[in-house]
Structure 1
């Protein structure tokens, strides 16, 4: 009698957890659902009723997406391309340099190692808003204002990525490094040929997190970029809301299109995502 009762209790708990997490998921997805519904709603309905998740298929129109793909919305696709270029380059550079810093802090012994790691933690605790003014002054002095590199430079070596890679590399076997040295491999070769393949889950996890952060970054590009042709997608979409008129048809349909790259990025790396997060979080 005890075993069936225990199985029944476990099933009830499982069903309860499924229901609970389903409700939490629907709550989290409500803004996305409202955005998708708004992208197919006429502008007049948006002005009258605002954002809603109610599905009235009879009132769905394609005019918003037709306006998005028309010649008049050429600026939108320029912003889209700017975001793709910046995010793509930033992901590659951030993974490369941040992983090397985290790898060195984890597996090498050198003078000042603890102090450097302490600086990484200190910068991690400082809000970016406090650093914006000196960083903006630096971009002016380097003449990188209104350029791709001006947006990317302060974010290439992210403290959170360095910390994550350092924690992950603490679990890598140092014996592989010694074997590589015996075989005549350089230190850079040991990292790229031996250690980097073992770090693929961490690379995938940080690619998603860094890509999401770069794609949605608004405040820093808003400060650095000045010309309309250089705007990223978040900055460009914000310019559609003005005191003189609001292009809701492009704003909502463009926002829906902006979700696609993040979904593709997650689907591409999802098989490594959980493994990378859990492995990087338990190494001490």
Structure 2
């Protein structure tokens, strides 16, 4: 193997050593480990590296070549500008969910009691709390729930890191929880039939219970609509993410089960329908 002295040498070696992985994952992993922004990674290919930097990067790339997600190798992911600790067994935050948080932020009111349902890493609660504080909302009552013990422990670590005061609950959908002014969730919505089309890294690394929502992907939503009235305060709202091809089915479900709610669907930045808000008109 040729001696690795520069970032370009390392990148060339990594591309060959992890030829089964996406180039963008290789670039992300190397840039993060070296403390470089994406543009710096492209512009500083002649950067000279220390032996320690090279050895650490080689360990990382060998893990990536075995199919371990780059975020799990690093131990963190980025979400709305916040570094969120993740580990295997906890869903890696998605950038689409950042848009859900931004939408919910527009409806915040003082003293809102907010539930992050299926919190996973706690990324939604962290981002919501920190961004709300920038808008002057420092009196929110934050709750985070999940069915997974690993997720709850991870979320608590992230809350501690960012000094977010949130009450953590173990719950399956809404059973056993109290009433809230707002519920926000990125639930499992992938159809079982879509498994064959998915990235193998996702299937190998991330928890199935956070990904798959049954044959049509709507298992969570059916349970949610049956339970939500018992867990929303008067005039309360929910914000949910869903799959890009599930809007029509959800429209039918909400018309049938939530006729007393005002339902609003929203497209993401790629102009795909991905989010829904419901407001209880009671």
Please report the TM-score for the alignment, with normalisation by the length of structure 1: 0.23
More helix by share: 1
More strand by share: 2
